[in-house]
Amino acid sequence: MSVQRSSMIDGQLRPNKVTNEAVLASLASVPRENFVAPNMAGVAYVDEDLPISASRSLMEPMVFSRLLEAAAPQASDTTLVVASGSGYATCVLGGLCASAVGLESDGLLVDHARAQASNLECNNVEFVIADVTRCDGISGPISLLLVGGAVSDAALVAESFSPILSDDARLVMVERSNPMIPGLAVRLTRSGSGWQRDVLFDASVPLLPEFTAAPSFRF
């Protein structure tokens, strides 16, 4: 699949504002096909979200790579992927940062993620099985956080994980309050006691059920 991986980088990502060479190199080193079901390996590099369980998807390459570009990962970062699924994003970040932790509630997905991280010798990557809406069991400080699906309110994610975040933490995710309309990729940067919010680009990835607002009546 190395040819497909190169085509993804040169045909999909570089022409669409992904220029960070370290990000591209890490994407080139991690085989996406290892993180989907065997019958989906042939479509691993299409620019679509690929289901990996009833509630998790492998985020489409364009959105994922542009989130990484906006996050500007550094070799000194300690990173956390919330709702890490089968482990792809965590392994990519492991190639860019000092360490990467994947937080996932689905034990079967974590088993797969751990096996793939071991196969790829991602020695600075680990996975925690726990409630993805809480930071229990995660050691901080975390300087970079990425969410592996859409959330209804990015500010609530920042609030939930605030206790383990560094003073200058960056959070990148897709915010999508209504599943019927496109969402927005956003970056939150911690500054003092508050957050700077930057809207990055339009993006539509599947909503994570744990971060979906309950329906409300409006009159």
Measured CA to CA, the distance from residue 1 to residue 42 in angstroms comes to 8
pLDDT at position 193, please? 80
Beta strands in the chain (DSSP E): 50-51, 57-58, 78-82, 99-104, 125-129, 142-151, 165-175, 183-191, 194-203
Residue 142 has pLDDT above 90, yes or no: yes
Residue 216 has pLDDT above 80, yes or no: no
User: Could you state, in order of their start, the residue ranges of all structural domains in the chain?
Assistant: 2-211
Strand order in the sheet with 165-175: 125-129, 99-104, 78-82, 142-151, 165-175, 183-191, 194-203
As a whole number, mean pLDDT of residues 135-153 equals 95
- The answer to which of 25-34, 93-102, 186-195 has the lowest mean pLDDT is 186-195
Quick one: CA dihedral 207, 212, 214, 217, positive or negative?
negative
Contacts of 16 (CB under 8 A, 6+ apart): 62, 66
As a whole number, mean pLDDT of residues 167-190 equals 94
Residue 218 has pLDDT above 80, yes or no: no
Measured CA to CA, the distance from residue 217 to residue 219 in angstroms comes to 7
The percent of residues in the chain predicted with pLDDT above 90, rounded, is 88
Measured CA to CA, the distance from residue 27 to residue 22 in angstroms comes to 9
Is 22 strand, coil or helix? helix
Residue 219 has pLDDT above 60, yes or no: no
Q: Which two tokens stand for residue 117?
A: 């991280």
Give yes or no for a contact between 35 and 51, defined as CB atoms under 8 angstroms apart.
Answer: no
pLDDT at position 1, please? 65
Residue 13 has pLDDT above 90, yes or no: yes
Residue 215 has pLDDT above 70, yes or no: no
Measured CA to CA, the distance from residue 72 to residue 106 in angstroms comes to 28
Measured CA to CA, the distance from residue 24 to residue 30 in angstroms comes to 10
Q: For 170, phi and psi rounded to 5 degrees?
A: -115, 135
pTM (predicted TM-score): 0.94
Measured CA to CA, the distance from residue 88 to residue 205 in angstroms comes to 16
How does the average pLDDT of the chain come out, rounded?
94
Enumerate the H helices of the chain as residue ranges. 2-7, 21-29, 61-71, 88-94, 107-119, 154-161
Taking only the tens place, the pLDDT of each residue in 36-83 is: 999 999 999 999 999 999 999 999 999 999 999 999 999 999 999 999
| CATH superfamily name and code, 2-211 | Vaccinia Virus protein VP39 (3.40.50.150)
Residue 185 has pLDDT above 50, yes or no: yes
